[in-house]
Amino acid sequence: MYKPKVFGLGLSRTGSSTLGKSLKMLGYNHMSLNGLAFLKAKCGDLSYLDQTVKKHESFDHHPFPYFYKYLDERFSGSKFILTTRKSSEIWFNSMVKGAENTPTEKLWMNLLVFGFMYPHQEPSYYISYYNKHNQDIRNHFKGRTKDFLEVCWEKGDGWEKLCNFLGHKIPDVELPHLCKSNIHAKKYYQSNGEGIEGKLIDYDLRQIRIQCSNGRIAKFKTGDLFATRKSKELYNPRQGNSFIE
């Protein structure tokens, strides 16, 4: 039986991973985050995004929240779900904690979305972006209750609201709440004067260049970003890294 495509439109740290896991549990062939499709789409090439969507049934994380207008037009009849937090301040604080516990080289998507690697660099801009993103989506889907749903897990939304929207039976299990704060997570960021806070300069399919706070130019080589990194050491600003020019 045909299933309409389902796109999660919430930003990172809004419960989008919980949505993704829930969709998997409902039987969807799910795709969660595709960095290459995101970079190509940001550079104007939407063909890879099209290919990705055709191979799966539901989606969350990058690049999907940023191309909802295109996806709405390209894949008519789809369902769109916006995940949000109780407040923009709660979301921002979660973003800060998430960035602290993420290796620097994996924060390049923040650069392409917000222009800054770390949320604490520009708190007001991050918060205004969050609010505008959500409101723009609400405005775009206004009056389309069959196509659009907004959920906030913190406010008690759960299986009933999600399944009624998608036309599924409610599972006899608890909603999976993922990516909760982990007090034991390793902190990769420390304000140690090493100048790793980056501001976007420019980017293309080959590299992403950032201006560090200490004046250096940092360069993420995209070939390295999408390569398997299991055996590669994490970025350590004290030791330096090949992407620092």
Residue 221 lies inside a defined structural domain of this protein: no
Asked whether residue 28 is domain-assigned, the answer is yes
Tell me the whole-structure pTM to 2 decimals: 0.87
Q: Which ranges constitute the DSSP H helices of the chain?
A: 16-25, 35-42, 47-55, 68-74, 88-100, 108-114, 123-140, 159-166, 222-225
Q: In this structure, is residue 133 part of a structural domain?
A: no
What number is the average pLDDT over the span 64-69? 98
Residue 202 in any domain: the answer is no
Determine, yes or no, domain membership for 59. Answer: yes
User: Does residue 19 surpass a pLDDT of 90?
Assistant: yes
Question: 171-209: per-residue pLDDT in tens?
Answer: 999 999 876 654 444 454 444 444 467 899 999 999 999
* Angle at the Cα of 238 from the Cα atoms of 235 and 242, rounded to 5 degrees: 45
Tally the domains of the chain. Answer: 1
* Residue 70 falls inside a structural domain: yes
Q: Is residue 148, in this structure, part of any structural domain at all?
A: yes
> Domain containing 63: what range?
6-83+141-166
Per-residue model confidence as pLDDT tens digits over 233-243: 333 333 334 34
Task: Please report whether residue 66 resides in a domain.
Answer: yes
